[in-house]
Structure 1
Amino acid sequence: MATTALLVCDIQNGIVERLKSQDTESFLRRLSQTIEAARKIGLNVIYVRVAFRPGFPEASPRNASLARVRAHGGFVEGDTSTDIHAAVAPQEGDILVTKRRVSALHGTDLDLILRSLDVKTLVISGLSTSGVVMSTVRQGADMDYKLVVLEDLCWDTEQDVHDAALKVIAKQAQVVRSVDWIAKLQ
């Protein structure tokens, strides 16, 4: 397991608050328990958040999704919307990566960190399944990482979108429930 890292992607205030679901607390509680289990056995826990510089110089108007973010003005560095949610806040020794695109690997120093730590397996959780999770899996597979996706620690705004994304993800990653993954750790 020394070559495994847990990625906690986009679990930040500005994204969690959009969920507006009664299951949000349960989701955050399961994620917190999973993070603690990973820490307990010494796995690297890496948080990935999305944040932009003031003025959004990295958000091209040709990119439809980033143009929407730019138009609404959210997720600017230093804004509370970019802070990791308090229920799963990083602790000393955890790593924080800032991204400016959907994939956690595109244009970030995440691959450099993973290679420096000799990580070969990525265990991925995040919001949303069809966004950061799928994009990171697709890119991570091309970069030869072994991939595990914690299906109950990914979420999308619509259940059918989540389910469809997991079908695609399962072609390149092992998809498991967090309790089953934790059981394997012990």
Structure 2
Amino acid sequence: MTHHNAHSRLALVMIDIQNGVLSLPLAHDPDHLVQRAAQLVSLFHHNELPVVAVNVAGRPSGRTDQVQAHVDMSGRWSELDSRLPLKADDIYVTKHCWGAFTQSTLHQQLQFAGVNQIALVGVSTSIGVESTARQAFDLGYNVLCLTDVMTDVHLDNHLYSCEHIFPRLGEVIESATLISQMN
């Protein structure tokens, strides 16, 4: 259950809901995810709460055991999905790593807006979303993980994050629960 009080300010943080990522072979229907995310954006705007749109435009250069597949990020790959009803005064973050707080001004922007709680959605559950949840938790944010507005290339990774990692970092809820609490 989410706990809202007079000292709590919530922001929606959307991870990598963008053309290139949504074109990957995802475990859940990307159109459904975008539809739910768009509904949340409208609700947060209506309630005059911050909306954060994060996109990825690269990756760290460190060595890994797993061979990194070449992804052509040219063209419109990094553009946010146009079905999201974003506004010019929303917070925009472009990242070049997994988590949205690393090498960005996201934490400072959320602090400036008085935010201490985030509703987290996006792709990929086990990479960008989970990394951002871990970073937010480490920074002291209350984290609401809206698992029906997340997906991953691998269903088993998505389920593991939702069932085993997110409960240790925050509260796991469905978007309908948050929507009913905010209406």
TM-score of Structure 1 vs Structure 2, range by shorter chain: 0.7 to 0.9
TM-aligned CA distance change 1:59 to 1:133, over 3 Å: closer
TM-aligned CA distance change 1:59 to 1:24, over 3 Å: closer
CA distance in 2, matches of 1:100, 1:158: 21
- The partner residue of 1:125 within 121, 131, 137 is 121
Give 1:81 shift: 0.4
* Aligned length in residues: 176
CA distance in 1, matches of 2:175, 2:26: 22
TM-aligned CA distance change 1:165 to 1:61, over 3 Å: same
Task: Give the secondary structure class of the aligned counterpart of 1:170.
Answer: helix
Q: Partner of 2:132 in structure 1?
A: 136
Give runs of ≥4 in structure 1 deviating > 3 Å.
19-22
Contact 1:84/1:90 (<8 A) preserved: no
* Partner amino acid, structure 2, of 1:114: L
Q: Partner of 1:68 in structure 2?
A: 68
* Partner amino acid, structure 2, of 1:99: K
Which protein has the bigger helix share?
A: 1
Give 1:31 shift: 1.4
The normalised TM-score by structure 1 is: 0.86
Q: 5+ unaligned residues in a row in structure 1: which ranges?
A: 53-57
CA distance in 1, matches of 2:93, 2:111: 14
Contact 1:50/1:75 (<8 A) preserved: no
Give 1:159 shift: 2.1
CA distance in 2, matches of 1:137, 1:163: 15
Q: 5+ unaligned residues in a row in structure 2: which ranges?
A: none
CA distance in 2, matches of 1:20, 1:51: 19
Task: Give the secondary structure class of the aligned counterpart of 1:86.
Answer: coil
TM-aligned CA distance change 1:114 to 1:26, over 3 Å: same
Farther-moved stretch of structure 1 (15-24 vs 83-92):
15-24
Give 1:88 shift: 1.3
Q: CA RMSD in A?
A: 2.1
**Residues 150-185 of structure 1, C-alpha deviation per residue, up to 9 Å, x if partnerless?**
110010122221110112111111011001101110
- The partner residue of 1:150 within 146, 151, 157 is 146
Q: Partner of 2:175 in structure 1?
A: 178
Task: Give the secondary structure class of the aligned counterpart of 1:81.
Answer: coil
Identity, % of aligned pairs?
26
